[in-house]
Amino acid sequence: MMFTWQDVLVAEQKRADALRMAERERLIRTILRAREPEPRFYHGLMVRFGGWMESVGQGLKKRYTVVVEPSIPSTVQTNKGCIL
């Protein structure tokens, strides 16, 4: 079976159309991946809950953290009679 010139042109045009469609779909996927995700309905609730947890945690940290004051001895010992 011999292909005619029209068959070759139709095949080339179909190939070009398929390549254009593939490029268009690739661009659509790229755009959809690049955009920011939609905030969920509970986003604000979670932000407020996180702030509350942080404030309560800092309060507990202040309440239960033991502060140790360093003690400085009142007398300083010297080495009398030591010859260097």
Half-sphere exposure of 50 (CA within 13 A, CB side): 6
Would you say residue 22 has pLDDT above 80?
Answer: yes
Mean model confidence pLDDT for the chain: 84
Predicted local confidence at residue 78, as pLDDT: 58
The number of residues in the chain equals 84
What is the model's pTM? 0.42
What is the Cα–Cα distance from 45 to 50, expressed in whole angstroms? Answer: 9
Predicted local confidence at residue 8, as pLDDT: 93
Q: Could you give the residue ranges of the DSSP H alpha helices within 35-72?
A: 43-64
Name the token pair of 72.
Answer: 């400085």
Q: pLDDT tier at 20 (50, 70, 90 boundaries)?
A: very high
Would you say residue 53 has pLDDT above 60?
Answer: yes
